[in-house]
Amino acid sequence: MTLAQETIRRKRDGQALDAAQIRAFVDGVTRGEVSDAQIAAFAMATCWRGMSTTEAVALTMAMRDSGRVLDWRGEDLHGPVVDKHSTGGIGDTVSLMLGPLLAACGCHVPMISGRGLGHTGGTLDKLESIPGYRVDVPLDTFRRVVREAGVAIVGAGPDLAPADRRIYAVRDLTATVESVALITASILSKKLAAGLQALALDVKVGSGAFMRDMPSALALARSLVETGCGAGLPTEALITDMNEPLAPVAGNALEVRMALRYLRGDERPARLDRVVRAFGASLLRQAGLARDDDEAQARLAQALDSGQAAERWARMVSGLGGPKDLLDHADRHLPAAPVVRPVPVPPSQVGMAVSSIDTRALGLAVVELGGGRRQAADRIDPAVGLASLLPLGAALDGSRPLAIVHAATQAAADAAVQAVQSAYAVSTTPVPAPPLIAGHIVREQGETSA
């Protein structure tokens, strides 16, 4: 057996690790034989030296195999098993609509999601604003809801890629979260453990993303696609803009309300709608349920307009413990903040236009309201957040506020108003927004324009 310190030394010195060395190290992490100090040293060496695709595949597979790997072949599913993952953003409610939409198109979606990280919102936190909804369920419940509803959005149980949980905890404390190879293995190990047949990845870029510039986003997207495909999972990635919130809302219950309005057809904001349908088309093509984008888009439109996607959502929510009538009576069940305050446009800015948005600052404003965590043990207030956020290029004529704050107290609302005003920059002439979908990454083809 290769000693952990020898594996660390090889990576520190820039030498390639073989699959056996990587697996032995990960096995030691899982069994508790590798210390936190050694994990930290390995993570820093990897962050500094990087990994080849071969090494990243080996690390991903070893982390996948550190726990249970789901097998859906015995479930008599009548469609492909697929999923989507986002690297995190503000107002990114895509998963809440995409899962039931894909289920209505004939897919099965066992979506393993996470909680908020830093300034970004977490899918599990959003769903937990629904009374009774359980994100931690026994495996047999998870399987049943995927089988019956076609989609279940839950958290990773303790048996799913447990090595990743331990490695990530150390990375979070050692300034190695940004390593492309370690991000890749962390994301894909859990997706591979879910037993998928196709995966689409949303790599965010911009002021509200972890990857703030295009070269960094491209590097991560290419690593994810090459590693996913190298591990036997058909994988594509879209690079999407996060220089402004994806939806005009940010906050847990507010985003669930937006998802419900989208599924019912009451409101489908253009940016959000385009990204939902783009990922739906990617997965329908990969799964063999559509020959091309035109056929995929037609299937998605039919599933939305017929109400089938909304019906799948209702089945999922009730199957995981939530109210059966949430779709029709959201206000009866979802929490509402006691203080609702518009964010006025400063008088000096009337007549100008929004030229840029510090999207990360908006995410942090939601955290400060209580809608996110400063520490892992913090409790979240699901009712708070921001709504009616003005987009890039919006004319500031004084008729609309920059946003509407939903807060627990007047003092919290006052602070959020100031934070939102500071996050918006203006100019005398409109500034065009960057492309919403900036790249499409497929294996061996690199970037193609969207």
Catalytic residues: 83-86, 123, 171, 186, 190-191
Alpha carbons 95 and 106: distance in angstroms, whole number: 17
Nearest residue to 100 via CA among 394, 346, 314, 337: 314
> Residue 31 corresponds to which tokens in the numbers above?
């069994």
> What string of H, E and C letters represents the secondary structure of the chain?
CCCHHHHHHHHHCCCCCCHHHHHHHHHHHHHCCCCHHHHHHHHHHHHHHCCCHHHHHHHHHHHHCCCCCCCCHHHCCCCCEEEEEECCCCCCCHHHHHHHHHHHCCCEEEEEECCCECCECCHHHHHCCCCCCCCCCCHHHHHHHHHHHCEEEEECCCCCCHHHHHHHHHHHHCCCCCCHHHHHHHHHHHHHHCCCCEEEEEEEECCCCCCCCHHHHHHHHHHHHHHHHHCCCCEEEEEEECCCCCCCCECHHHHHHHHHHHHHCCCCCHHHHHHHHHHHHHHHHHCCCCCCHHHHHHHHHHHHHCCHHHHHHHHHHHHCCCCCCCCCCHHHHCCCCCEEEEECCCHHHCCCEEEEECHHHHHHHHHHHHHCCCCCCCCCCCCCEEECCCCCCCECCCCCCCEEEEECCHHHHHHHHHHHHHHEEEECCCCCCCCCEEEEEECCCEEECC
CB 183 within 8 A of CB 217: no
CB 108 within 8 A of CB 196: no
C-alpha dihedral sign at 268, 269, 274, 280: negative
